[in-house]
């Protein structure tokens, strides 16, 4: 069985950068999160944007929200794969 919980790795260019990028591979799915320090961020799965967070209190909160959305998406994807 393929693991469904993403293990995130930072691909930030360095401290103080305006946008941080995090990447995870789950099975054949590539998940990417980009977060700005002011609290905006996006989640992409295989290059397709599936979620966006606007006006979170901080980049850290936006990252937490997007990680939660990604985990829920992967659980649903696994459930669909097991029923077919």
Q: Is 68 exposed, middle or buried (0-12, 13-18, 19+ CB in 10 A)?
A: exposed
- Does a structural domain hold residue 3? no
Domain residues for the domain of 52 are 18-83
Residue 11 lies in a domain: no
**pLDDT for position 12:** 61
- CA distances 28 to 4, 35, 63, Å, are 11, 23, 22
- Which of the 8 DSSP states describes residue 44? E
Q: Is 2 within 8 Å of 25 (Cβ atoms)? A: no
The answer as to whether 7 is a domain residue is no
Instruction: Provide the sign of the torsion angle of the four alpha carbons 1, 63, 40, 19, taken in this order.
Output: negative
Q: What is the pLDDT of residue 3?
A: 61
41 lies in some domain: yes
Q: Is residue 12 part of a domain?
A: no
* Domains in the chain, number: 1
Q: What is the pTM of this model?
A: 0.85
For 21-78, write each residue's pLDDT tens digit: 999 999 889 999 999 989 999 999 999 999 999 989 999 999 999 999 999 999 998 8
Query: d(Cα 39, Cα 73) in Å, to the nearest integer?
Result: 21
In a domain, 62, yes or no: yes
């Amino acid at each position: 069985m393929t693991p469904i919980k993403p293990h995130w790795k930072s691909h930030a260019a360095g401290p103080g950068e305006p946008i941080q990028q995090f990447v995870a591979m789950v099975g054949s799915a590539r998940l990417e999160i980009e977060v700005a320090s002011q609290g905006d961020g996006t989640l992409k799965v295989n290059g397709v944007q599936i979620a966006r967070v606007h006006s979170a209190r901080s980049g850290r909160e936006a990252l937490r929200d997007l990680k939660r959305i990604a985990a829920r998406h992967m659980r649903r994807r696994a459930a669909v794969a097991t029923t077919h």
